[in-house]
Amino acid sequence: MSVIDIINLSFGYNEEKVLDNINLKIEKDDFLAIIGPNGGGKSTLLKLILGILKPQSGAIDFIDDSMTIGYVPQNTNINMDFPVTAIEVVLMGHSYTKRPIFGYGKYETACAMEALREVGMEEYAKHRIGSLSGGQRQRVMIARALCSHPSVVILDEPTSSIDASGQKQIYDLLKELNKTMTIIVVSHDISITMEYANKVAYINKTIAFHDMTEAKSRFSLHPQGHFCEVELLQLLGKRS
Amino acid sequence: MIEALSFEFMQHAIIAGILVSLASGIIGSLVVVNRMVFLAGGIAHTAYGGIGLALFLGIPIFAGASIFAVGAALLMAFLTLKHRHRIDTFIGLIWAVGMAIGVILIDLTPGYNVDLLSYLFGSILAVSLDDLYYMGGLLLIVVAIVTIWYREILSVSYDSEFASLRGINVPLFYTLILVISALTIVIAIKVVGLILVIAMLTIPVYIAEKLSKNLFGMMFLSGFIASIFTVLGLWISYMFDLTSGATIILVSAVSLMLFLIFEKLQNRQN
């Protein structure tokens, strides 16, 4: 049973097609990596799934129309000077329709603290967002996405501005979250993404899809936890 | 100073100064975090057109200036939302046209030789009781709006893309922020004048930003700091017979300098 079913999807800006006839089934326990060159249409696909853009032809079907998708945007280094604490950023993830007249409800604060605990950032709740490291800030953004109780979380280049050890922590966190929700990651960093993902979609106007579950079992992990390039090429070379 | 407090105009000046400072603290914080300082400058100068209109029609200055400022705010909100990449050109244009309309309307007003300087640099010593009611009422409205919609305003200011994904009407709140800014700018013109409004909206905020953890604290602290600057500036201008608006701004600027030096020294110690 797929959570998101993309059927014959095409989209273009002014005549020129950015995405051409994309078909993709995203299953409930998937950890899907979306890779591909810049300008290949990865961000456009994200925006279509999130509903920011509407498909020009084809459709995106969701298993349940009321399901929510958590979103972690690309650049978390903007607005570093902004006077806001970590917990307040997480609180932004709540719905704005059901709310008390002033401020935040008790249940909302409790839920936001729970989300911070899930990403291991509860002790930083009252810290100003600009004083956190890149990796810590990214975990706060993930907590913000968790606030809406999503069944799918989409992350756009989650580790682009984070050092190596921070990157591994983020992916370990995503692996943990993947036990209860679908994870979709757009990334340039192929080696680390591959290690965690079970499905890979290569988007460059069209889609090439790889199910890594079976292929992965044939390789033993590199001692450092990364695939070496030869293994990667072999994995990607085997089209299903 | 004590005997000065017995004058009614002085009492009005101090109350007006504090009301406007509190409103400027809130609005200045919003303007700075939303990077709308240039927009606010444009609105302040466009309001001069409204001052001209008010004199020409014989209606209260606050009414004319408010109409023009809110009109400019709505126009700028619309243009920012539609043509973000050209917005600086539009602001410059609206800024100049507003002022030109003001000058022409005052030319056309018969028998009235207006003191332009009092609008450019403020006239805090000529605040009437009605002015105080208007300022107080506006402060209440501003406080009510930012209290009730604090979370939406915070969300839109911090990350408008995410806010719109969560279902917040971003254009509506962006416009609301600009409109309450326009109304606050109009009362601030009375205290420091339209040229100096920008300094009033930014200097206390700059200091408060470094000292506060969140937007709410920054608004409150900015208002408090602005009040101190205003009362201190007023007192110095009274003692040495100086233009009050300009004195308030210089007091703020010197305080900012001292704050920055103090901050540098403290960083060096750590």
A128 touches chain B (CB under 8 A): yes
pTM: 0.86
The class of domain A13-67+151-240 in CATH terms is alpha beta
Are A126 and B159 an interchain contact pair (Cβ–Cβ within 8 Å)? no
Size of interface A-B (CB pairs under 8 A): 64
Are A96 and B159 an interchain contact pair (Cβ–Cβ within 8 Å)? no
Are B167 and A71 an interchain contact pair (Cβ–Cβ within 8 Å)? no
- pLDDT tens digits, one per residue of A174-215: 999 999 999 999 887 777 777 888 888 888 878 877 777 666
**In angstroms, what CA-CA distances link B247 with B6, B47, B116, B134, B185?**
22, 22, 18, 24, 18
pLDDT of residue B114: 66
Nearest CA in chain A to B160: A92
pLDDT of residue A240: 40
**Among candidate residues B41, B81, B47, the one with its CA nearest the CA of residue B64:** B47
Contacts of residue B213 in chain A, CB cutoff 8 Å?
83, 85, 126, 128
Q: Which of residues 77-116 of A touch B (CB under 8 A)?
A: 79, 81-85, 88-89, 91-97, 99, 101-104
pLDDT of residue A152: 92
Are A102 and B157 an interchain contact pair (Cβ–Cβ within 8 Å)? no
pLDDT of residue A229: 58
Are A92 and B163 an interchain contact pair (Cβ–Cβ within 8 Å)? yes
Which has more pLDDT, A61 or A89?
A: A89
pLDDT of residue B188: 93
Q: Check whether A3 has a pLDDT greater than 90.
A: no
Contacts of residue B163 in chain A, CB cutoff 8 Å?
92
- Which residue do the tokens 């591994």 mark? A168
Among A64-73, A92-101, A228-237, B61-70, the range scoring the smallest mean pLDDT is A228-237
- Tell the burial category of B206 from Cβ atoms under 10 Å away from its Cβ (0-12, 13-18, 19+): middle
**Residue of A46, A69, A78, A84 to mutate, interface with B, max B Cβ within 10 Å:** A84
Are A103 and B148 an interchain contact pair (Cβ–Cβ within 8 Å)? no
Q: Check whether A236 has a pLDDT greater than 70.
A: no
pLDDT of residue B42: 93
- pLDDT tens digits, one per residue of A113-146: 999 998 999 999 999 998 888 889 999 999 999 9
Contacts of residue B218 in chain A, CB cutoff 8 Å?
83
pLDDT of residue A96: 65
The structural domains of chain B, with segments of one domain joined by +, span: 8-201
Per CATH, domain B8-201 is 1.10.3470.10: yes
Are A95 and B213 an interchain contact pair (Cβ–Cβ within 8 Å)? no
**Among candidate residues A10, A24, A52, A32, the one with its CA nearest the CA of residue A181:** A32
**In angstroms, what CA-CA distances link A112 with A106, A108, A116, A142, B258?**
10, 6, 6, 11, 39
Contact B212, A129 (CB under 8 A): no
Average model confidence (pLDDT) for chain A?
Answer: 82
pLDDT of residue A235: 61
Q: Check whether A224 has a pLDDT greater than 70.
A: no
Provide the b/e sequence for A131-166 (b: ≥16 CB within 10 Å): ebebbbbbbbbbbbbbbbebbbbbbbbbbbebeeeb
Other beta carbons less than 10 A from residue A61's beta carbon: 12
Confidence of residue A239 (pLDDT cuts 50, 70, 90): very low
- Beta-bridge partner residues of A201: A34, A209
Q: What are phi and psi of B133, to 5 degrees?
A: -60, -45
pLDDT of residue A7: 87
pLDDT of residue B155: 93
Residues of B with CB under 8 A from a CB of A: 33, 147-148, 150-152, 154-155, 157-159, 161-163, 165-168, 209, 212-215, 217-218
Are A91 and B214 an interchain contact pair (Cβ–Cβ within 8 Å)? no
Contacts of residue A102 in chain B, CB cutoff 8 Å?
147-148, 150
Nearest CA in chain A to B215: A83
Contact B226, B25 (CB under 8 A): yes
Contacts of residue B158 in chain A, CB cutoff 8 Å?
79, 82, 84, 89, 92
A131 touches chain B (CB under 8 A): no
Contact A203, A40 (CB under 8 A): yes
Q: The tokens of B4 are what?
A: 């000065």
Nearest CA in chain B to A129: B213
Which has more pLDDT, B70 or A3?
A: B70
Per-residue pLDDT of chain B (270 residues; tens, 9 = 90+): 677 788 888 999 999 999 999 999 999 999 999 989 999 999 999 999 999 999 899 898 899 999 999 999 999 999 988 887 888 899 999 999 999 999 999 888 887 666 777 888 888 888 899 999 999 999 999 999 999 999 999 999 999 888 988 889 999 999 999 999 999 999 999 888 888 899 999 999 999 999 998 999 999 999 999 999 999 999 999 999 998 889 999 999 999 999 999 999 988 877
The structural domains of chain A, with segments of one domain joined by +, span: 13-67+151-240, 79-149
